[in-house]
Amino acid sequence: MSNAQPALKDWPLWEVFVRSKQGLEHKHCGSLHASDAAHALQMARDVYTRRQEGVSIWVMPSHLIAASDPDDKDQLFDPASDKIYRHPTFYEIPEEVGHM
Amino acid sequence: MYTQSFSVPDEGDKQAALKTVPKPQSAAEAELQKRFDERIDADGRIEPRDWMPEAYRKTLVRQISQHAHSEIVGMLPEGNWISRAPSLKRKAILIAKVQDEGGHGLYLYSAAETLGTSRDQMLDGLHSGKAKYSSIFNYPTLSWADMGVIGWLVDGAAIMNQIPLCRCSYGPYARAMVRVCKEESFHQRQGYEALLVMMKGSQAQREMVQDAVNRYWWKCLAMFGPPDADSPNSAQGTRWGIKRISNDDLRQKFVDATVPQAEVLGVSLPDPDLKWNEARGHYDYGAIDWDEFWQVVNGHGPMNRERLATRVKAHDDGAWVRDAAVAHADKQKQRALKSAA
């Protein structure tokens, strides 16, 4: 039925990060296709901030993100689970000291 | 907005399913499957790079892309009325709503892409007529009251469907649904309020609202999908944490929520069997015409051809814009290289 050429083959994928208000960090909120960075920013504004969800937007090409392998989860993160001395609640302080 | 809360195979899927015989699992796969099952049982979430069974991936790609297509095609019946909205205020509201639907489609396409399908594949599926979308959009929007009724009932039904999807086991889909649900409430309320205004108008306006309700009521009930007894795929969806509430339970929730709203509005719902059942604590309702429903799902509704043709034309007409954007990006890149040299 359609004789259209592929739509977005040449528009790379971008990840979008939005700062919801001044003083907070940019947070990942999704992705979109756009021809270049300026275009991606414009699209991100329309797709992800139609209701004042942000005061600032970052975009970056998705392929530039390096991610840890889910299969490495145990070796990466488990070693921290038996180091409870890294938490303040590990230490008992006499009550009369008050808040510390 | 709107999903059919059940899994309809796309054209061609059925034959493919018959041909593929599942391969026996290797020991390593069995171990991965076990870990996957444990995570699902513990109500955990699956993320894009996690191992998942091929059938889980396929089911999600189909469901999320059908959902995305529904949002995109859903712009068409309402887009019809932008130029004919009765006031500037209603026009601005309708434009905002249609833009939201486009946005919802984009969130969902992105979520589906995390499963390894591409935007082009999905759009090809839609444009070639292979992929399904919600059958509710294959009916015409005959009067302005239809805009109100679509907001009130169609979006209302969609909200019932989508709220449980915010807890779907697949992370990107669940997160997209949280975003969608936040915006959906505006859609329903603007529709209901538009109808309230019409009901305070002339007799002709009230009749217009009643006519639109009469035409859409049963189609909205059918949106929840076949009765549980006839939904063989539901059990697997439930097992995977994709489907949280059954079709019939969602439908009942929708009826129970809508009857009092209809009373406040002052319209009747076109079902002589609709009445409160004290023993069940729910409203009983009449039999749904499933033959009509399947006719429309299978491509024979009043507007199937027209919707698809409009969508394909819009896409084709936009080709030069997509090409121009790429040409512009290339030129900018060349310029940056030159000035760096």
Give A92 to chain B, closest Cα distance, Å: 34
Give residues 52 to 71 of B whose Cβ lies within 8 Å of A. none
Question: A70 — contact with chain B (CB < 8 Å)?
Answer: yes
Mean pLDDT, chain B, whole residue set: 92
Residue A95 confidence (pLDDT)? 94
Backbone angles phi, psi at B29, to 5 degrees: -65, -40
Q: Is B107 on the interface with A (CB under 8 A)?
A: yes
pLDDT digits (tens, 9 = 90+) for B84-103: 999 999 999 999 999 999 99
- Is B99 within 8 Å of A35 when comparing Cβ atoms? no
pLDDT at A70 over 90: no
Q: What is the pLDDT of residues B182-236, one digit of tens each?
A: 999 999 999 999 999 999 999 999 999 999 999 999 999 999 999 988 877 788 8
Confidence grade of residue B115 (pLDDT, cut at 50, 70, 90): very high
Interface membership of B38 toward A (CB under 8 Å): no
pLDDT, tens only, B144-182: 999 999 999 999 999 999 999 999 999 999 999 999 999
Q: How many CB pairs under 8 A join A and B?
A: 77
Q: Which residue among B103, B120, B316 sits closest to A50, beta carbon to beta carbon?
A: B103
Decide if A22 touches B, using CB distance below 8 A.
no
Q: Where are the beta strands (DSSP E) in chain B?
A: 275-277, 282-284
The pLDDT value recorded for residue B36 is 94
Mutate to test the interface with B, among A3, A5, A8 (most CBs of B within 10 A): A8
- Between positions 128 and 167 of B, the ones with CB within 8 A of A are 128-129
| Angle subtended by helix axes B119-127 and B304-317, to nearest 10 | 140
The answer, for B23 touching chain A at a CB cutoff of 8 Å, is: no
Q: What is the pLDDT of residue B230?
A: 83
Task: Assess whether pLDDT exceeds 50 at residue A6.
Answer: no
Over residues B127-143, the mean pLDDT reads 95
pLDDT at B231: 79
Give the mutation candidate from B29, B31, B118, B331 for the A interface (greatest A CB count, under 10 A): B118
Predicted local distance difference test score (pLDDT) of residue A10:
79
Question: Among B155, B156, B145, which Cα is nearest to B90's?
Answer: B145
Contacts of A41 in chain B (CB under 8 A): none
Structure tokens given for B127: 């444009």
Predicted confidence at residue A13, as pLDDT, reads 94
Which of the four pLDDT bands, split at 50, 70 and 90, describes residue A76?
confident
Q: Which residue of chain A comes nearest to B46, CA vs CA?
A: A70
Contact flag A4-B319 (C-beta cutoff 8 Å):
yes
Put simply, whether A13 touches B (Cβ < 8 Å) is: yes
Asked if A7 contacts B322 with a C-beta cutoff of 8 angstroms, the reply is yes
| pLDDT at position A5 | 46
Nearest to B72 by CA among B300, B310, B242: B310
Q: Which residues contact B171 (CB under 8 A, 6 or more apart)?
A: B45, B46, B47, B48
Q: What is the dihedral of CA B132, B137, B140, B141, to 10 degrees?
A: -170
Lowest mean pLDDT among A69-78, B193-202, B244-253, B298-307: A69-78
Contacts of B251 (CB under 8 A, 6+ apart): B221, B224
Question: Residues B281-302: pLDDT tens digits?
Answer: 999 999 999 999 999 999 999 9
Name the token pair of B194: 């538009």
Beta carbons within 8 Å of B209's beta carbon, 6+ residues apart: B145, B148, B149, B195, B198, B199, B265, B267
Confidence bin at B19 (pLDDT 50/70/90): low
- The pair of three-digit structure tokens given for residue B12, joined into one six-digit string: 């061609």
Q: Among B75, B63, B67, which residue's Cα sits nearest to residue B187?
A: B75
The answer, yes or no, to whether residue A4 has pLDDT greater than 50, is no
Q: How far is A29 from chain B (nearest CA, A)?
A: 9
Residue B127: its chain A contacts at CB < 8 A? 1-2, 4
Instruction: Output the CA angle B10-B13-B19, nearest 5 degrees.
Output: 175
Output B24 or A68, whichever has higher pLDDT. Answer: A68
Angle between helices B247-265 and B155-165 (to 10 degrees): 140
Q: Do A70 and B316 touch (CB under 8 A)?
A: no
Structure token pair of residue B236: 């697997």
Tell me the C-alpha distance between A24 and A4, whole Å. Answer: 43
B304/B139 Cα distance (integer angstroms): 8
C-beta separation of B169 from B330 below 8 A: no
Lowest-pLDDT choice from B19-23, B55-59, B213-217 = B19-23
Residue type, A49: T
The answer to whether residue A1 scores a pLDDT higher than 50 is: no
Q: Where does the pLDDT of residue A2 fall: very low under 50, low under 70, confident under 90, or very high at 90 and above?
A: very low
Give CA–CA dist B178/B164, Å, rounded.
10
Question: How confident is the model at residue B1, as a pLDDT?
Answer: 46
How far apart CA B19 and CA B40 sit, in angstroms, is 28
What is the mean predicted confidence (pLDDT) over B104-108?
96
Backbone φ/ψ region at B269: left (φ over 0), alpha (ψ -120 to 50), beta: beta
Query: Bridge partners of A26?
Result: A19
Rounded to whole angstroms, the Cα distance separating B50 from B45 reads: 10
Decide: A34 and A12 in contact? Cβ < 8 Å. yes
Q: Is any Cβ of chain B less than 8 angstroms from the Cβ of A3?
A: yes
pLDDT at residue B268 greater than cutoff 60: yes
Q: Is the dihedral of CA B28, B31, B37, B43 positive or negative?
A: negative
Compute CA distances B194 → A51, B249, B300, whole Å.
21, 29, 31
Chain A 24-43, residues with CB within 8 Å of chain B CB atoms = 29-36, 38-39
The average pLDDT across B41-63 equals 94
Most confident residue range from A83-92, B8-17, B212-221? B212-221
